[in-house]
Structure 1
C-alpha cells in the first residue's frame, strides 16, 4: 500500500467531525448538505477510481472498499453517496473527446449512477436514451448521471457478436433529466435516493462506453471486469454500519441495567456470547470480501484476465457479508431491548439505516445461486455478474 492509499483509509476519520455535525441536517433535508459534499469532493473521496490523468487517485479496489467501510462506520448515507459518486473510472472507458466534456470545468465532476437498464435507440451521431431509474443515490448534487442502456433496433434488443444484448454505459448531464422526489423512507434518509426520468435524451457517441471491449486506459485497475469496481461497495458500507452497531451496543451494555436486577447487560453471559460471536462473524466476512477484491487487484497488476470464478467469489463474499451484517444488526437491536426504540439512541438509526442498505439488489441472497452455477461449470444467469 502506497502513502496515498494509506491517507485515503484515514479519510473517514479525518472527516468524522464534519459528518457528525451534518447528521441531523441530512435527516431533515434528505440529502448531504453542500458544504459536506464539497468537503468530501475536495478531499478526494469521489475520485478514488478516476484515472490519474483526470485528477484521480486510481486506488486499488481493496483500499476503496476499506474507505467505504470507514465511512459506513460513521454514517450509512454519507458512505452510500461516496460509493455512488465513485464512477470516475468511466474516464478509462471513454475517449479523450468525451472526457474533455465531463472534466471541462475547474471543479471535479460529481457522478451518480444506476445499474437498472434504460432503452437506447441509435441516432445520427449517438443514441436517444429513455428510462425511469429508481433509487438513484446522490442525484440531487450530481453533475453527471451514468446509467446502463440496452440498444434497441426495430423494437428488439440488438445483439453483440457473442449473442448477448448490446448493453452500454451512457453519461447524461444533469440538465437532461428530471428528478422525481420519491425518497420517503425510514432509513438512509440522507442518501437522496430519488427517481430519475429521462425522455428521449440525445447522448453523443463520445459519451457512450462499451463494457465488452478492453478499456482505453490499460493499467491494472482497469484491466479486469469493470463492473466489479462498483458492485461490492454497498457490502463494504453495511459491514461498517454493523461494526458500529456492535461498538454502540458494547457501550450501552456497560451501563444498561438488566430488568431482573442482576447487574448490567455487560455482565450477562448471553450478551457476552452474542457480542463475541457477532464480532468474529463480522471480522471473517470483512476478510473474505477484502480477499476477493485483492484477487482482482492482483490479476490486474499481473496483467491476467479476471476469471469467472474470481467474479463468483466476489459475489459470494458480498452476499455473505450481507447475511452476516443483517444478523449482527438484528442481534444488536435485540440486545439493546427498549433502548433501541428511541430516536437519539445510535442503535435506532444504525438499525434502520443498515436494513435499508441491505435491501439493495446487490445483496440479494439469490446471487448465491449464480455463484453455485459457476461452481458447477455453468454460466451465470444474471447480467453483469
Structure 2
C-alpha cells in the first residue's frame, strides 16, 4: 500500500534534506536519491500498477505528491517529473515499446519534455528524430528520456483533423541523448532541469505515442485522465505541499522572531495568528478541490474512455487554485517575517524562492483561468446550463 511507502518517505526525510542541500549547490540532486527512493518505494508506489505501483486512490496520489514537495521543493518537483513520465509511458506506449522501456521490472526513471521542439522524419519502421528541448527536470537520473516532436512526411507536416500539427512523444535511451548543464535559476535549483538534444537518431514506432491520443493501452482509471489533466493535478499537489511547508515554517519562526522595535514574538500578535489561519484554510480548501477533482475524474473513467471537457476544467481549476493559494501564502510569509524571510539561515528562504519559481509553470499559471472562462462562455452562448 502507498501508506507504507509514505511512512518510509517521512522516515527518510533527514536523508533527503541532506541531499537537497547538496543539490542546491550542484544544481541537481545526487544519484544517491535514486537509492533512497528505491528503498522507500515512494515514487514507484504511485506509478501505475502495471509497472509496480500500488496506488488506486486519488487521495493517496495527492498525499504522496504533496508530501514530497513538503519535504523539499526540488525533490517534490522531481517526484512530479519522474512519476508523470513513467505513468504516461506505461499507459500509452504500444506493447513492444512498453516491454522494452520497463524491462528492468524495477523503479524505471524517465524524464523529459513534451513540447514539440523536435522533428520526426517518417521512415518505414519509425522516425528519424532531431531536436532540442528545455526543462528536462531529473534527466541526469533517468534511464529513458521523453521528447515531443512533430511528424514530417515528404517535407510535409502531418496534421490532425483540426488542421493542427499532430504532436508525438518519443521515448529514447539516455545514451542517445546529449544533455547540457545550463540550469541557472533563483529557485528549484536542485531539479537539474537542464536542456537536452538528439541529432538524427532513429526511434521505432513502438517507442512513440500520440500526445492527445486518449487511447490508453493499460492503466487504471486514475492514470487514464490524459496527459494534461494528470500533469495539472501533480503540479497542484506540489503547490499544496509547499503551502503546508510555509505553515510549518511560520509556526516555528513565529514563536522566536521578534520584529524590530517590538517586544513580543510574532506568534503573540493577533494579526499573525489571523494570517496563519488564513493560509491554513486555503491549504485545506486547495486539498479538498484537488481530491474532489481527482475523484470525479477517476469515477468517470471507470465507465468512459476520456474525460469530459467539464471534468478537465475541474482538474485545471483545482490545480491552478492551489498554485494561487501557495503564491499568496508566500506573500503573507514575506509580509510577516520581514528580513527573516530572505535570510539563508532560515529554511523558509529557500521555500519561498522555490514557490516563486514553481508558480511560473504553464500547467498552473493564470492562463488556465482564462482558458476555462473562454470555454464556459462559449458553452453558455450555445444554451448550456451553468453546470455544463
Identify whether the pair has TM-score above 0.5, normalized to the shorter chain: yes
Q: Is the 8 A contact 1:49 1:56 kept in 2?
A: yes
How many equivalent pairs are there?
376
Q: Is the 8 A contact 2:231 2:363 kept in 1?
A: no
Could you say what the CA RMSD is over the residues aligned between the two structures, in angstroms? Answer: 2.2
**Residue 230 of structure 1: SS of its match in structure 2?**
helix
Quote the Cα distance in structure 2 between the aligned partners of 1:38 and 1:22: 12
Quote the Cα distance in structure 1 between the aligned partners of 2:371 and 2:309: 11
Alignment of 1:153-232 (within 5 A): 153-161=153-161, 163-210=163-210, 211-217=212-218, 219-232=220-233
Partner in structure 2 of residue 81 of structure 1: 78
Partner in structure 1 of residue 102 of structure 2: 103
**Residue 189 of structure 1: SS of its match in structure 2?**
coil
Q: CA deviation at 1:291?
A: 1.2
Quote the Cα distance in structure 1 between the aligned partners of 2:195 and 2:273: 43
Residues 139/334 of structure 1: CA separation in 2 closer, same or farther (3 Å cut): same
TM-score by length of 2: 0.90
Q: CA deviation at 1:274?
A: 1.2
Q: Is the 8 A contact 2:45 2:53 kept in 1?
A: yes
Q: Is the 8 A contact 1:312 1:374 kept in 2?
A: no
Alignment of 1:77-156 (within 5 A): 77-86=74-83, 87-89=85-87, 90-105=89-104, 107-117=106-116, 118-156=118-156
Residues 58/69 of structure 1: CA separation in 2 closer, same or farther (3 Å cut): closer
**Residue 370 of structure 2: SS of its match in structure 1?**
helix
**Residue 322 of structure 1: SS of its match in structure 2?**
helix
Q: Is the 8 A contact 1:128 1:200 kept in 2?
A: yes
Q: CA deviation at 1:58?
A: 4.9
**Residue 203 of structure 2: SS of its match in structure 1?**
strand
Quote the Cα distance in structure 2 between the aligned partners of 1:141 and 1:258: 43
Q: CA deviation at 1:312?
A: 0.9
Moved more, 315-324 or 151-160: 151-160
**What does the per-residue CA deviation read over 1:13-59, in whole Å, with 9 as the maximum and x for residues that have no partner?**
13212212222211122222222222213433333454434333354
Quote the Cα distance in structure 1 between the aligned partners of 2:214 and 2:326: 35
Quote the Cα distance in structure 2 between the aligned partners of 1:34 and 1:202: 28
Residues 222/276 of structure 1: CA separation in 2 closer, same or farther (3 Å cut): closer
Residues 334/377 of structure 1: CA separation in 2 closer, same or farther (3 Å cut): same
Partner in structure 2 of residue 57 of structure 1: 54
Partner in structure 1 of residue 386 of structure 2: none
Q: Is the 8 A contact 1:224 1:299 kept in 2?
A: no
Q: Identify unmatched segments of 5+ residues in structure 2.
A: 381-388
Q: Identify unmatched segments of 5+ residues in structure 1.
A: 380-385
TM-score by length of 1: 0.91
Partner in structure 1 of residue 342 of structure 2: 341
Quote the Cα distance in structure 2 between the aligned partners of 1:62 and 1:152: 42
Q: Is the 8 A contact 2:283 2:322 kept in 1?
A: yes
